[in-house]
Structure 1
Amino acid sequence: MRHPIPLLVLSWAFCSSLGVGCSPSPIDQSPPSLRFLRDAVLVPGAEEGPQVVEREWNAGETITMDGYTATAPRHPECVPLFQVPLGDVSRVVSMGGTAPDTALAWSPDERLLAVGSYRGEVVVVDGTDGTILARRRLAETMVKQVAWAADGQTLYATEQSPDAFLHALDPEHLGSRWTVRLADEVGSSPAPDGQDVFGVYTLPTAYQLAVLEAGDLLVGAAHGWTDKHGVRQNLSRLLRFGPDGTVRAAWPSQALDATLMHFAIDEAGDMLAVVVGRTAHGEAPPGLPIGGLQLLSLEQLTPLRALPIAPLPPHFKSTFIWEAVGLSVANDLVIAGMGDGRLIAQDLAGKPKWQVDLGTPLSSSTAPISASIGFGLLRGDQFVVHTSGTNVPYGSSSPAARPPSPHPGDNTLSVYDVSGALQWAHRGIEQLNGLVMGADGRTLVVGTTARPDDGREDLFGAALFDLDREQAGTKERIVTCRTEGPVFFRPSLSSDGRLALAEHPYRRADGTLSGTYQVTVMR
C-alpha cells in the first residue's frame, strides 16, 4: 500500500535515526534514493511526490522500486512527516518549569490526530499531512487529556483550570456537545500568579480519561492545593459518564480527602485498580490504602478491597505509585511499581505473590542511591516497566544531595511475565521517560532524553520496541526516532506506524533556549 507524504520528509530523510537530532533545512542537496522505514520503504517519487510503501525488507537485501535501487541497512530509519506548531512556551522553560503537558490521541480510524496543548488549545489535524482542520482555545491554562469516543464522532478533553471543565466536542469544528464542571465535584482554586510556573498543577483536573467498550467515559478527577490559610488540601472522585454526559456511577459518594489520579482497567473482569495518594495536611480518612491501591467494580464503581502497601524503611516512610499499575482478574494479579524502586505483585485478595527490587536503595560513598519506578503497564501476560535515573531517597538525611554514583538498576526497561520471571531488559545510553503501547498492541514507545550529567543534545525522542520478538536486549529496539528537542512523556503510535511526539524547547548548557513547542509526526 502506498501513502503520499508531505515534502517535509525530503529535508529530513537523510538524518540518521541513530545519529544526532536535526532540523529541517529549506533545501535538500542529497540525491534522492530509497529510505528504509519500519516495515516500509520511502520512495522519493517525482511529480506525485514521496510515498511510503508498506512492505517488509531484510538487512542487506537489494531492492528496486520505481527505478531506484538501494541495499537495505541493518536498522530502519525514522523520518518526520509533518509538524504542528503549538505556540510559545519559552517563558515556562526559561523559568525552570517542567515539560509542557501535551495530550495526543489518534482517532479510531486513525485519519485524525487530536492534540491538547499546554497553552489551553485543542487542535485536530489531518493525520497524513498535518493540515489543521479545527482549533479551539478551551482554557487560559492547559488541556490535560484528550480521548476519542469509539465511533470517532466525539472528542473528549479535560482542562487543568479553576473550573476543570470536561468537554465533549464535535471533532469537525470543536463545538461543544456537552460540558461538565469537574470543579463542582472536587472544588476549585484560583489561577496561579503568572510568575508561578508550577502553580497550574495545583488546579483541579482529570489526570486520566478512559473510553470503555460500552461507550462510557471513566474519569479520575483530582485536586491538590494549598488554601488561603496555608493548609494543604486534597479532593478527588472517580466518575463514570454516559455518552450524553450523565453520571452513571461514582466513587466515593462525596469527594475524597486523597488523590485519585491513575488507574488500571480490566473490562473483561469488570474491575479497576485505582492509585490512592495523599498530599493533604492532617490525618488521612480511615480505611484508605494511602500509597496503595483500591479495587472497585467497573460497572458500578463499588469498592471491593483496599490493597495497602507497607513503606520500605529506613529511607522511605511512605509509599507512592505514579503510572505503573497493572490488573488482571484472569491471572488473579495486581502489579504496582513503587517510587522506592520495588515492583510488587499481589493477588486480588491482597496476598503477596512476588517482588522484584529494581531500584531499591543501595549504600554508596556519601549518600544512599535509588531509582524510582514511575511508568509500567500490563500487556497480556507481560508487565513492562522502566526505572528512573538515579536519585537520593527522599527519606535519607541528605535527599537534596547529588547521587555519588549511578544505581545499577537505573534507566532500565524490563519485561516480566506474570510469575515475576524476567523475560528481557534493556539499558541504553539515554534516560527513559514514559512508555505507551502502540495501537497495534505489540509496539512499545519509550520516551528518551539526555541523562542529566552528560548534557548531550542528540538523545531526544523515542525508542520503539517490538514486544512480540523473541530476541533479548538491544535487539528488541526496532528504531530510534530523534527530535530537535525533549519530548513529553505521552506519545501516541498509530497501527500503521505513525508516531506522534510533543517536543518542546530546552535550556542549553550556555543558558540559551533551543527548540520549538510542536508536535512532530514521524514514520
Structure 2
Amino acid sequence: MALARAAAVPSPGSSSTAMLLLLLAACSGSPAPAPPAGELVFLRGAVLSPVAGQEGRPVAGGGRLIPRDWSPGETVRIDGLTGTAPVRAECVPLFHVDLGDVARLIAMGGEAPNTALAFSPGEGDRLAVGSYLGDLLMVDGWTGEVLGRRHLAETMVKQVAWSADGGTLYVAEQSPDALVHALDPATLEDRWTLRLADFVEPSPAPPGDDLYGVYSLPAAYGLAVLPGGDLIVAASHSWVDGDGVHRNRSQILRVSPSGAVRDRWPERPADATFLHPRVDAEGGLLAFAVNRSADGPAPADLPIGGVQVLDLDGLEPVVAVHTERLAPWFTEAFVWEALDVSRAQDALFLGFGDGRVRITDLRGVERAALNTGAPVMAGDMPIHASVGWGRILGDQVLFTTSSTLIPYGAASPELRPPSAHPAENTVWAVGLDGQTVWSWSGEPVLQGLTVAPDGRTVVVGSGRRPADDRRDLYGALVFDAGGEDRSGDDRLVTVCSTAGPVFFRHAVSADGRIAVSESPVMGADGAVQGAYQVTVLR
C-alpha cells in the first residue's frame, strides 16, 4: 500500500479542502491553521474543532483538540458543528519548528541530520528537541511555541530524556568531551555535567568539510531513565587516532540523579562499541548491541556482532548472544536498533543488518531463527533487506525490514538492485516461536520504530528515498499492534504525510501526538529544497 493511497477516506461531513490547507501549512513553514469554520477533522481518538471553547486543548492555529472516540460512519456533533466520521482516521500537522540551515549537508550528499525528541512525562506539555546543529530547544507540546533555546558549542545533540517527574532534562552531546547534561527544563541551565570522554577517551573535532566526522566523536548512544531515578548511559567511541589506527572504547554507566557514577561495566572500557540500550525495568535487565570497528583482534569475552544482557542490579552479566557472519556476502554480523529483552517472556530478540532475526531465551538457547531479509539471488546479484529496528511487545516481536540493498561483500555493492527483495519495506509481527502474526508492506522507506506509552500504538517513519525522487511518501505510519487478530492493512490506523523525509527518531505523547524531524532533499535541478524542522502530528 502506498503512503498516498493509505490516506484517510473523506466522509460527507469532512473537508478535503481543510486537509489540503493543513498539509500545505506544514510544507510552507508556518503554523498549521485551524480547519475552516464549520468543519471537524476526525483524528485518532480525538476531533479537531475550529470553534473556540472550553472543551479540549488549544493547538497552534486557533483550533482545539477534543478527546473523542468515534466509529466510521458515526455522526458527531461538537460545538454546534456536525461531521460524519471517516473510514480511517485523518492525521494533520499541529505545528512545526524550524531547526536551522542544513543545506550544505544535504548538498554534499549527507544523510538525514540526527535529531533527538522527547515529550515530557504525563500529558506531554513540553517537547525537548536536540538538533544536528547543536541546538537544544524546549517547545510547548501543543502550540509549538519555543519556550527556551540553548546552543551547545562544537556538538551535535545525540540524546534527550526526561526524569520520571519531568523535573530534570538529560541531554547528551556527541562532541570531543561528550558531556551528559542534567538541566533545569525551565531555564535549560546545567545542574551537573558528566564528561564521558573521561571514560571512553576524547578525540579532536573533525575538519569542517568532513560530513561524517562528528560520528567519530565520543557520545552517549543511549540514555535510559530507571524508575528509581538512576540513568543508564551507553558511552561509546569509535575513531581513528593520530597514527591511523582504528580504535573503539565503550562502557555502560549507571549514574545517580545527582550525577555520581554508581556502577560501570566492564570495569575497564571495552574494545568495542556499545549501542542502543533497552531496559526491562520490571525484569531488572539491560540489553545493548555490541559491535566493533577497531583494528586488531576482537576481545574474546564480548559478543561482537550480537547483544549483551546485564542485570540492572550491579551490572552483572546475564547472557551474551551473537552469531557468525553471513558468508560470503558479509564480513561481519551487526546489530543496530533491532534488539530487546524481556524477563517475563524469557526472551531476547536480535535483528541483524544482513536480514536475519534471532530469538533466544535468557540462557541463550535459540527459540526462533528467521532469514526474513537475508540475501537471495536476483539473477547473478545477491540482494537483501536489513533489519534495523525492532522491539518485544508482550508475546510478540515487531521489527522492520529495509528497502532492497546489495550486500557490502558483493562485487559491486554500489549498484542499484536489479529487483526488489521479497521482504523489503515491511513491518513484521512474529510470535516468540518465529511464526508470523501479521505484516504490512508498502512503498515507504521505513525509518525507525517507536512504541507509544500505551504499549500498543506503533509509529514507523517514512524517510529518504535513494532509488527515486518521489515526495508523496514521506511521513509516519501509525499501527495498532494490540487487540484482536487482524491483517497488517487493518492495523494501519492512519498515515501522516510530511513535506520532507523523516529521521528514524520519533516521539509519541500519551494522548497520541507524534513528533518527527524532517530534512530537505536535493531537487531534480540540483537545488536543496525543503526545511530541517520538527513537525508534531495528530
Q: The TM-score by the shorter chain falls in which range?
A: over 0.9
Structure 2: tracts of 5 or more residues without a match: 1-14, 55-61
Residue equivalent to 2:277: 263
Confirm or deny that 1:38 pairs with 2:53: no
- Show CA shifts across 1:244-273 (max 9, x none): 000111011111110001222222222222
Q: CA deviation at 1:181?
A: 0.6
- Contact 2:29–2:96, Cα closer than 8 Å, also in 1: no
Closer, same or farther in 2 for the Cα pair 1:323/1:29, shift >3 Å? closer
Residue equivalent to 1:436: 450
Q: 2:247 aligns with which of 223, 229, 233?
A: 233
Confirm or deny that 1:422 pairs with 2:420: no
Q: Which amino acid aligns with 1:15?
A: L
- Contact 1:440–1:494, Cα closer than 8 Å, also in 2: no
Residue equivalent to 2:532: 517
Residue equivalent to 1:480: 495
Q: 1:14 aligns with which of 16, 19, 23?
A: 19
- Contact 2:22–2:93, Cα closer than 8 Å, also in 1: no
After the TM superposition, which of the residue ranges 421-430 and 18-27 deviates more from structure 2?
18-27
User: How does 1:18-417 map onto structure 2 within 5 Å?
Assistant: 22-23=27-28, 32-45=38-51, 49-109=62-122, 110-417=124-431
- Contact 1:273–1:296, Cα closer than 8 Å, also in 2: yes
Q: Which amino acid aligns with 1:386?
A: T
Q: What is the CA–CA distance in structure 1 between the aligned matches of 2:26 and 2:186, rounded to whole Å?
A: 34
- Contact 1:386–1:432, Cα closer than 8 Å, also in 2: yes
Q: CA deviation at 1:24?
A: 6.2
Secondary structure, aligned partner of 1:184:
helix
Confirm or deny that 1:460 pairs with 2:474: yes
Residue equivalent to 2:509: 494
Closer, same or farther in 2 for the Cα pair 1:131/1:11, shift >3 Å? farther
- Contact 2:37–2:50, Cα closer than 8 Å, also in 1: no
After the TM superposition, which of the residue ranges 377-386 and 242-251 deviates more from structure 2?
377-386
Closer, same or farther in 2 for the Cα pair 1:20/1:192, shift >3 Å? same
Q: CA deviation at 1:401?
A: 2.3
Q: What is the CA–CA distance in structure 2 between the aligned matches of 1:46 and 1:262, rounded to whole Å?
A: 44
Secondary structure, aligned partner of 1:260:
strand
Closer, same or farther in 2 for the Cα pair 1:469/1:428, shift >3 Å? farther
Q: What is the CA–CA distance in structure 2 between the aligned matches of 1:25 and 1:269, rounded to whole Å?
A: 45
Residue equivalent to 2:10: none
- Contact 2:232–2:254, Cα closer than 8 Å, also in 1: yes
Q: What is the CA–CA distance in structure 1 between the aligned matches of 2:212 and 2:89, rounded to whole Å?
A: 39
Q: CA deviation at 1:12?
A: 8.9
Q: What is the CA–CA distance in structure 1 between the aligned matches of 2:286 and 2:144, rounded to whole Å?
A: 36
TM-score (norm 1): 0.94
Q: What is the CA–CA distance in structure 2 between the aligned matches of 1:232 and 1:497, rounded to whole Å?
A: 43
Secondary structure, aligned partner of 2:73:
coil
Q: CA deviation at 1:506?
A: 1.2
Q: CA deviation at 1:510?
A: 2.2
Q: CA deviation at 1:47?
A: 8.1
- Contact 2:428–2:439, Cα closer than 8 Å, also in 1: yes
After the TM superposition, which of the residue ranges 451-460 and 244-253 deviates more from structure 2?
451-460
Q: Which amino acid aligns with 2:504?
A: F
Q: What is the CA–CA distance in structure 2 between the aligned matches of 1:84 and 1:519, rounded to whole Å?
A: 5
Q: CA deviation at 1:146?
A: 0.3
Q: Which amino acid aligns with 1:264?
A: R
Closer, same or farther in 2 for the Cα pair 1:375/1:58, shift >3 Å? same
Give aligned pairs, total.
Answer: 514
Q: CA deviation at 1:131?
A: 1.6
- Contact 1:335–1:345, Cα closer than 8 Å, also in 2: yes
- Show CA shifts across 1:338-368 (max 9, x none): 1111110112222211111111110112411
TM-score (norm 2): 0.91
The percentage of counterpart residues that share the same residue type is: 50
Q: Which amino acid aligns with 2:200?
A: V
- Show CA shifts across 1:38-91 (max 9, x none): 111111115884212111112222222222222222122111112211111111
- Contact 1:12–1:25, Cα closer than 8 Å, also in 2: no
Q: CA deviation at 1:398?
A: 2.4
Q: Which amino acid aligns with 2:532?
A: Y
Closer, same or farther in 2 for the Cα pair 1:186/1:336, shift >3 Å? same
- Contact 2:236–2:274, Cα closer than 8 Å, also in 1: yes
Q: Which amino acid aligns with 1:235?
A: R
Residue equivalent to 1:4: none
Q: What is the CA–CA distance in structure 1 between the aligned matches of 2:250 and 2:385, rounded to whole Å?
A: 28
Secondary structure, aligned partner of 2:382:
coil
| Root-mean-square deviation over aligned CA pairs | 2.2
- Contact 2:126–2:140, Cα closer than 8 Å, also in 1: yes
Residue equivalent to 1:3: none
Q: CA deviation at 1:286?
A: 2.1
Q: What is the CA–CA distance in structure 2 between the aligned matches of 1:228 and 1:22, rounded to whole Å?
A: 45
Q: What is the CA–CA distance in structure 2 between the aligned matches of 1:330 and 1:127, rounded to whole Å?
A: 34
Q: Which amino acid aligns with 1:139?
A: A
Q: What is the CA–CA distance in structure 1 between the aligned matches of 2:93 and 2:348, rounded to whole Å?
A: 38
Closer, same or farther in 2 for the Cα pair 1:412/1:285, shift >3 Å? same
Q: What is the CA–CA distance in structure 2 between the aligned matches of 1:133 and 1:381, rounded to whole Å?
A: 41
- Contact 1:11–1:25, Cα closer than 8 Å, also in 2: no
- Contact 1:334–1:347, Cα closer than 8 Å, also in 2: yes
- Contact 1:366–1:404, Cα closer than 8 Å, also in 2: no
- Contact 2:30–2:96, Cα closer than 8 Å, also in 1: no
Closer, same or farther in 2 for the Cα pair 1:331/1:149, shift >3 Å? same
Secondary structure, aligned partner of 1:340:
coil
- Contact 2:23–2:93, Cα closer than 8 Å, also in 1: no
Q: What is the CA–CA distance in structure 2 between the aligned matches of 1:166 and 1:29, rounded to whole Å?
A: 42
Secondary structure, aligned partner of 1:385:
strand
After the TM superposition, which of the residue ranges 458-467 and 269-278 deviates more from structure 2?
269-278
Structure 1: tracts of 5 or more residues without a match: 1-9
Q: What is the CA–CA distance in structure 2 between the aligned matches of 1:268 and 1:497, rounded to whole Å?
A: 24
Secondary structure, aligned partner of 1:15:
helix
Q: CA deviation at 1:316?
A: 2.2
- Show CA shifts across 1:287-324 (max 9, x none): 22110122211121122333231222222232100000
- Contact 1:63–1:69, Cα closer than 8 Å, also in 2: yes
- Contact 2:474–2:499, Cα closer than 8 Å, also in 1: yes
Q: What is the CA–CA distance in structure 2 between the aligned matches of 1:70 and 1:412, rounded to whole Å?
A: 34
Q: Which amino acid aligns with 2:75?
A: T
Q: CA deviation at 1:22?
A: 4.3
Q: What is the CA–CA distance in structure 2 between the aligned matches of 1:200 and 1:377, rounded to whole Å?
A: 28
Q: What is the CA–CA distance in structure 2 between the aligned matches of 1:22 and 1:177, rounded to whole Å?
A: 38
